Amino acid sequence: MSDTKYIPAIGRRKRATAQVRITPAKATKIVVNGKDLAEYFTVSEQVKTVQSAFEKIDAGKEFEVSVLVRGGGASAQAEAIRHGISRALIKDNEELRTDLKKLGFLKRDPRRKERKKFGLRKARKSPQWSKR
């Protein structure tokens, strides 16, 4: 990106963390970990998830988005990027907050995998019980 000022934000979902930087531009372009959005996410649903922050609301501007994402799976990373983009858009224009909040893009989804407990096979699954 050029020397123009960017708006930073961080988005999270499960173990995924996305550092998002948005810069005003002529056309919306999203780069994730140095790759184009469609190149990084091969599943079209994940691409739609990332772009939904721009599509659902009419920002009135175009942005160049640069993302550094780590951890988690592909779907969690896509939702973390959407969370980060939404937070950055609010820093740019506070009026978008109500629309993004209604869509649920500002809520950090805290659900994670429950840890395994000793004596059990998984978090809650117990070994088969036999009477004799």
As a whole number of angstroms, the distance between CA 52 and CA 85 comes to 10
As a whole number of angstroms, the distance between CA 95 and CA 73 comes to 32
Among 20-24, 25-29, 63-67, 71-75, where is mean pLDDT lowest? 25-29
Question: Tell me: the pLDDT tens digits for 66-112?
Answer: 999 999 999 999 999 999 999 999 998 888 898 889 989 999 888 88
In three-state secondary structure terms, 7 is strand
Q: For the domain bounded by 7-103, which CATH number is listed? A: 3.30.230.10
Domain borders along the chain are 7-103
Q: What is the CA radius of gyration of the chain?
A: 19
